[in-house]
Structure 1
Amino acid sequence: MKESSETSSTSKRQLRKPKSNNGCRTCRLRRVKCDETPITCKRCIASGFKCDGYDTERLSYKRNPTKVTAPAEYYFRTLLPDKTTDERRSFNYFHSFTVPMMNGWFDHRVWNRLVLQMAQSEPAVCHAIVAVSALQEVSESCGLAILPEDISDRTHRFALYQYSRSLKYLTVRMGSNDPHVRNTVLVCCILFIVFELLRGNYDQAILHLQNGMHVLGAGKFDYHALYQAHPALERNVEDSLAAALVHLDLQSAHFGASNTHTQLDLALLEDRGGCWPKPVEFESLQDAWVMRDRIFLQFCMFSALCETLSEADITADFATLSTEQKKQQIQLLNFAHALDALEQTCIQRGAMSEKDRGSLELLRMHHMGVSVITDSCLIKSPKVIFRIYSERFDKVVDLAEQITARFLDRRRAAGPRLTLLMETGILGPMCLVIDKCQNVAIAQRALRVMESWPHREGLWDSTLASNVASGRIMNIQEDADTAI
């Protein structure tokens, strides 16, 4: 009798159909069985619900979740009640891994709060987050900064599907009269930029960046106004969003892809020569970060002008050029004083964390690098630059080595390796040092710093940057050999 009962129970288990994961989104949200009728399920129609259709792509259930301390599943079920298990899982990864990565150098409001808050009310933002997270997890697992597109891979298809859903929701949202819709568009632009960078689609990333700058309302930056204010602020959008986009645009200027930088010329310098920098004060590291970008923007325009001038041109207009150089030197000095004052204030308040110390050190390295290049920008002789400025370039690389070593040690203790940031760290400064120092030994040290840590800093990719830098070092060596 017992054997008969066990046989019956086994037969029932064998006859029971396996649970289907292919139901429509509405039935899965309601936790009812879907009849899986194509396009629109009959159960939704019969119950008076709108059928939201089916997910054309889903993640593989064979994938093991990443072993991390992350919020429990019920937390994301409450936070994102209308999202699928796959979407909540990817959002969890973004929350637990991507956000800490984006805040590797500084704690940015965009990643700490804004993006996560908007994801709860803006479907376009939520699906963009899921798309980025899905690709980034693959990138981390295979150790590749750029993922070659593989449509046969389920995760790639899932990410592209989420990306297309985000675009669809964003198109509808842009038809709204809501005055806050610009913030939604700008957040999506930033996430789309990250998504395309992970895929290695630089042209598309730049296009999203330029569209974001257009929505921001940033025309050509007024060079002289940069002595007084950051060009991204006071544009009726969230300040941190504007600053993040302008920072990426600044990076794009290095690659000749920015539409916002004024083509500086001598006439423009002479036209408004009365604009001088004023002393500044920082209430926070975020203030210092914004001020650093103001200096970077101006430095980028002025140094680009100096690059185009011959020694004879510089001699002919030395008074105008040296006056502008002096203004930038004063602005850099003001920055250094404000940074020192901020550090003292933080120490007195007992509010200086280890991460804050690292952020201050990074800002000082940026300041040191820009200062030495500003001081030498009117000198055309490689021999003179080598003789006068080698020691200062060497100190910049010393600081970069220390920052990188401590930063990587801290990140190893905190969790997985850091490969994706949207903030300038060491790559841009090291490339500038290699390009300007005229010293092979120093340039090779800077290259080793870049190669010691494969990662991305916004538009800067360490592998590509190192390859370009290697070519530049060969040119420096050839020039040195020729001079001998």
Structure 2
Amino acid sequence: MEWTVEAISYLTSLGCAESSATSSDRNVSAVSQQAGNAPGIPFEVWPKLESTIQIYNIPFKIPGSRTDRELLHFYCSEAAQCLSRFSDSTLWTQLILQRSQHQPVIRNSLVALSSLYREYLKVGSNQLGNSPKTIQLMAKSHKQLSTYLLTPGASPEAALVCSLIFYVFECLVGNTKQAIWHLDRGLELLKNYWVDDPNLLAKMDPIYPQLKIIFCHLDVHASIFSWERMPVLKLASQDHISGLSDAVPEQFSGIFDIEQTLVTLQNWKTNHLMSTVVHKGAHLQELPIEIAQERLQLERQLQLFEAAIERFRLQNDGQTMNSQDRQRIMLLHCQALIFHGVLLENIILNEEDTKTPMEAYCKFEFALEQIAFLISDFESSNGSKSEHREFTVSTNLVAMLYFVCFKTRDRNLLEKALSMMNSSLYSARDGLWDSRKAFLVVQSVLSEKDSLRSEEGSDMRLEDVGSDVIDTSCGLDEVFCALRIEDEVN
């Protein structure tokens, strides 16, 4: 593939600017120089891996140190499956690993990811982010990519994979602003090559559709985390938006088809609501006609999606379906229900319309039941409930519970979602979203609501109570700071 001027620009910012961006954010140079001799800051802050591995669970021979092999063994044995929990594991367990065999820049980034992930499980985001060793590992990976991108054979594939890995780096240490920065660099490259020319995907090997789908998911996740960030991608066609054709097929061909359709609807809904935020709170009959028509068209497509996924589940219920596929379908269904419920709250006809809000709450309630069953099914299929920190990349489970809490007027629904956040997902982090922080934010705003006189607060959503701090541009972390919550996380 030839490099265009635009692509070189994207990759220059992705590779060369990363080091400066990360350095300015964490003072990498100063910390690195001082770490070795500053009093009270031991440079080797992490214990070494146990050297008892007899057979490495790595499907190919790799050069490098024994430590690198042990970290890749850990990645293959544990980390890859955990990162992709409730999702298609192909990208993390197979495709990226295959690329790492022949691409040292990917392999080195994967080794760093394994090291960071392993330490995250022990100490959590706060301690991990403050460790000089962490900063050194991340800066080294950025420099290696920057050097690689200057070579004649540099490929966009390696740049995309590394930008995804760097996004996970930053999520692990809790630096959401920098995580979104890395994500946006990858999205611009993806948009330049493949989203603008969908037919190109058919000519590529299996990693490209997998990379596209996860970047599309993360684009939506970043926009619902940071409310002023418009999605980089626009996936719905003009025919879909105008109603000339349906975005949802009559019948899904498989789980990947379900996922592609859902992320298109999620992207469409997010772009639509964010581009019309000036009309937030307006009833449907008060909206400009073109906005109202698009909103109703989108709602119809979500109805079609839910009907189609129900048919797919019924048709495959009697067939042999492994637990991973069953959980994956369940998660996609939950995501659709939550997004549909949020949209319904934005198409209330007038003040007398009580039917539409009730439909939204029914969606939320069904989604919570499905999430509870999903977590229970996972624990059952894996033998026990995990008591350790959990990290996933793209389930959106924490965000879904958070939005139910803020969107509903039903106290029972709110308390159910809050309880799940504080029990089943107590120590979980899903990409940008930290469950403990989300729980503490909801709890803080709920306390404020309960302090109001009953006639003022009884019918208010948490979103309305905390609107002065909730509507922030930098997401959950900024809300957490604005509410001055004591940092109990980690």
The TM-score, its normalising length taken from structure 1, stands at 0.72
1:96 alignment partner, SS class = helix
Matched, 1:405 2:373: no
1:378 alignment partner, SS class = coil
Matched, 1:284 2:254: yes
Aligned residue number for residue 469 of structure 2: none
Which structure's relative contact order is higher, taking Cα pairs within 8 Å and 6+ residues apart? 2
Residues 181-190 or 315-324, more deviating:
315-324
For residues 27-38 of structure 1, what are the structure 2 equivalents within 5 Å? none
Query: 8 Å contact 2:120–2:128 — kept in the other structure?
Result: no
Residues 382-391 or 105-114, more deviating:
382-391
Over the aligned positions, Cα root-mean-square deviation in angstroms equals: 3.8
Matched, 1:120 2:90: no
1:147 alignment partner, SS class = helix
Counterparts of 1:362 and 1:206, CA distance in 2:
23
Distance 1:92 1:58, change over 3 A: farther
Counterparts of 2:181 and 2:273, CA distance in 1:
26
For residues 50-449 of structure 1, what are the structure 2 equivalents within 5 Å? 63=48, 65=50, 72-73=55-56, 76=58, 79-80=61-62, 82-142=63-123, 144-151=124-131, 157=133, 159-178=134-153, 181-217=155-191, 238-254=208-224, 255=226, 256-258=228-230, 260=232, 273-280=242-249, 281-305=251-275, 307-309=277-279, 314-317=284-287, 319-347=289-317, 350-379=319-348, 384=354, 389-413=360-384, 417=388, 419-449=390-420
Counterparts of 2:114 and 2:362, CA distance in 1:
43
2:242 alignment partner, SS class = coil
1:238 alignment partner, SS class = helix
Q: Runs of 5+ in structure 1 lacking a partner?
A: 1-56, 223-228
Q: Please report how far the alpha carbon of residue 345 of structure 1 lies from its aligned counterpart in structure 2 after TM superposition.
A: 4.8
Partner amino acid, structure 2, of 1:450 = M
Distance 1:100 1:417, change over 3 A: farther
Distance 1:231 1:326, change over 3 A: farther
Q: Please report how far the alpha carbon of residue 296 of structure 1 lies from its aligned counterpart in structure 2 after TM superposition.
A: 0.9
1:260 alignment partner, SS class = coil
Query: 8 Å contact 1:197–1:205 — kept in the other structure?
Result: yes
Q: Please report how far the alpha carbon of residue 429 of structure 1 lies from its aligned counterpart in structure 2 after TM superposition.
A: 1.6
Query: 8 Å contact 1:128–1:191 — kept in the other structure?
Result: yes
Partner amino acid, structure 2, of 1:163 = M
Matched, 1:465 2:434: no
Matched, 1:455 2:440: no
Q: Please report how far the alpha carbon of residue 428 of structure 1 lies from its aligned counterpart in structure 2 after TM superposition.
A: 1.9
The TM-score, its normalising length taken from structure 2, stands at 0.71
Q: Runs of 5+ in structure 2 lacking a partner?
A: 1-42, 459-490
Query: 8 Å contact 2:128–2:173 — kept in the other structure?
Result: yes
Partner amino acid, structure 2, of 1:283 = S
Residues 329-338 or 234-243, more deviating:
234-243
Residues 303-312 or 447-456, more deviating:
303-312
Query: 8 Å contact 1:368–1:396 — kept in the other structure?
Result: yes
1:79 alignment partner, SS class = coil
Identical columns (%): 18
Counterparts of 1:361 and 1:479, CA distance in 2:
40
Q: Please report how far the alpha carbon of residue 89 of structure 1 lies from its aligned counterpart in structure 2 after TM superposition.
A: 1.0
Partner amino acid, structure 1, of 2:142 = L
Distance 1:442 1:113, change over 3 A: same
Query: 8 Å contact 2:241–2:294 — kept in the other structure?
Result: no
Q: Please report how far the alpha carbon of residue 276 of structure 1 lies from its aligned counterpart in structure 2 after TM superposition.
A: 3.8
1:139 alignment partner, SS class = helix
Q: Please report how far the alpha carbon of residue 273 of structure 1 lies from its aligned counterpart in structure 2 after TM superposition.
A: 3.3
Distance 1:168 1:95, change over 3 A: same
- Deviations along 1:242-276, one digit per CA (max 9) or x if unpaired, are 221221121111113456167x9xxx999973544
Partner amino acid, structure 1, of 2:252 = F
Query: 8 Å contact 1:128–1:188 — kept in the other structure?
Result: yes
Partner amino acid, structure 1, of 2:127 = L
Counterparts of 1:410 and 1:183, CA distance in 2:
35
Partner amino acid, structure 1, of 2:232 = T
- Deviations along 1:109-138, one digit per CA (max 9) or x if unpaired, are 210211111111111111111111112212
Counterparts of 2:431 and 2:307, CA distance in 1:
28
Q: Please report how far the alpha carbon of residue 321 of structure 1 lies from its aligned counterpart in structure 2 after TM superposition.
A: 3.8
2:127 alignment partner, SS class = coil
Q: Please report how far the alpha carbon of residue 368 of structure 1 lies from its aligned counterpart in structure 2 after TM superposition.
A: 1.9
Q: Please report how far the alpha carbon of residue 85 of structure 1 lies from its aligned counterpart in structure 2 after TM superposition.
A: 0.7
Residues 389-398 or 103-112, more deviating:
389-398
Partner amino acid, structure 2, of 1:72 = I
Query: 8 Å contact 2:191–2:233 — kept in the other structure?
Result: no
Aligned residue number for residue 465 of structure 2: none
- Deviations along 1:122-168, one digit per CA (max 9) or x if unpaired, are 111111111111122122123x24434444xxxx52x5444344333
Distance 1:279 1:374, change over 3 A: same
Aligned residue number for residue 486 of structure 2: none
